[in-house]
């Protein structure tokens, strides 16, 4: 049986990341950096794709106001979608583009989809994350319970913000995935898969280092981007979006 190891959510991509992914047996990376527009993500993903590693572009869209923000992972987008729009507006746009939508790190901190959102948008979700290195063990367990309760296909990712986390977590699909279309079909059809991760003290250490990275990544850095800088490339008022999201923007 042909199997494909997919890491469905990484934040970083360079030559070292690509080499580490290959060395650790990863076949597909889904690259979804923060605050980067889709054309740039696509270009970078193509630059690091080769016969050994497929890199698929995606966007983790930040929705809602600062205190009620929710992150949603979208693959297969045909047009750019900005951050800082309402959750309802984001899902409406994903539906319009027939995107493949995943729920990363469910109920994690204050940035994730939870039971109310699963209830409302579950029919638009192609999967929910059940293992994430930034989670503590009980948080992974809670995520799994939630995903199973709503009957969503599971996935696990490295959610790597650090190069050392690449290859720590992956989702093994029981089929060959050689293109972006293949991955979208596997996710959208609920294809058989296993969520797997490394074990031992090194894995635990790398997970906790990812958790520590969150303190900076999710507080001062984002506060500066959203409230002080105010005009990220993915801000809905950016000229690139031509005012299309003016009615659903929150900043």
Output the pLDDT for position 66: 82
CB atoms within 10 A of CB 51: 6
Residue 221 has pLDDT above 70, yes or no: no
Query: Measured between alpha carbons, how far is 190 from 135 in angstroms, rounded to an integer?
Result: 24
Per-residue pLDDT of 186-220, as tens digits, reads 999 999 999 999 999 999 999 888 888 766 565 54
Averaged pLDDT, 170-179: 98
Output the pLDDT for position 220: 47
Query: Measured between alpha carbons, how far is 83 from 237 in angstroms, rounded to an integer?
Result: 10
Short-list 221, 243, 242, 239, CA closest to 231: 239
Residue 246, exposed/middle/buried by CB under 10 A (0-12, 13-18, 19+)?
A: exposed
What mean pLDDT value characterizes the chain?
A: 93
Output the pLDDT for position 7: 98
Short-list 156, 178, 176, 179, CA closest to 168: 156
Per-residue pLDDT of 34-79, as tens digits, reads 999 999 999 999 999 999 999 999 999 999 988 888 999 999 999 9
Residue 143 has pLDDT above 70, yes or no: yes
Residue 175 has pLDDT above 90, yes or no: yes
Per-residue pLDDT of 146-163, as tens digits, reads 999 999 999 999 999 999
Q: Could you give the count of Cα atoms lying within 13 Å of 11 in the half-sphere of its Cβ?
A: 19
Categorize the per-residue pLDDT at 108 as very low, low, confident or very high, splitting at 50, 70 and 90: confident
Domains by residue range for the chain, with CATH: 4-241 (3.20.20.140)
Output the pLDDT for position 231: 66
Output the pLDDT for position 165: 97
SS (H, E, C) the chain: CCCEEEEEEECCCCHHHHHHHHHCCCCEEEECCCCCCHHHHHHHHHHCCCCCCEEEEEEEEEECCHHHCEEEEEECCCCCCCCCECHHHHHHHHHHHCCEEEECCCCCCCCCCCHHHHHHHHHHEEEEEEECCCCCHHHHHHHHHHHHHCCCCEEECCCECCHHHCCCEEEEECCCCCCHHHHHHHHHCCCCEEEEECCCHHHHHHHHHHHHHHHHHCCHHHHHHHHHHCCCCCCCCCHHHCCCCCCCECC
Query: Measured between alpha carbons, how far is 198 from 40 in angstroms, rounded to an integer?
Result: 31
Share of the chain above pLDDT 90, in %: 84
Output the pLDDT for position 118: 97
Tokens of 57: 């572009």
Categorize the per-residue pLDDT at 229 as very low, low, confident or very high, splitting at 50, 70 and 90: low
Averaged pLDDT, 178-190: 98
């Amino acid at each position: 049986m042909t199997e494909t190891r997919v890491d469905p959510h990484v934040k970083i991509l360079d030559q070292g990341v690509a080499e580490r992914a290959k060395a650790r047996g990863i076949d597909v990376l889904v690259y979804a950096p923060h605050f980067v527009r889709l054309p740039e993500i696509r270009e970078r993903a193509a630059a690091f794709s080769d016969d050994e590693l497929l890199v698929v572009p995606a966007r983790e869209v930040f929705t809602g106001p600062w205190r009620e923000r929710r992150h949603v992972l979208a693959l297969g987008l045909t047009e750019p979608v900005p951050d800082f729009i309402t959750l309802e507006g984001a899902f409406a746009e994903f539906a319009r583009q027939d995107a493949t939508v995943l729920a990363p790190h469910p109920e994690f901190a204050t940035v994730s989809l939870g039971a109310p959102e699963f209830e409302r948008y579950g029919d638009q979700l192609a999967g929910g994350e059940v293992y994430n290195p930034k989670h503590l063990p009980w948080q992974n367990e809670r995520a799994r319970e939630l995903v199973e309760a709503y009957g969503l296909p599971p996935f696990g990712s490295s959610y790597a913000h650090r190069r050392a986390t690449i290859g720590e977590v992956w989702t093994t699909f029981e089929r060959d995935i050689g293109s972006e279309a293949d991955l979208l079909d596997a996710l959208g059809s609920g294809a058989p898969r296993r969520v797997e991760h490394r074990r031992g003290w090194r894995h635990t250490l790398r997970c906790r280092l990812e958790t520590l990275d969150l303190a900076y990544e999710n507080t001062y850095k984002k506060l500066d981007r959203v409230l002080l800088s105010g005009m990220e490339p993915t801000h809905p008022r950016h000229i690139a979006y031509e005012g299309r999201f003016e009615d659903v923007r929150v900043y």
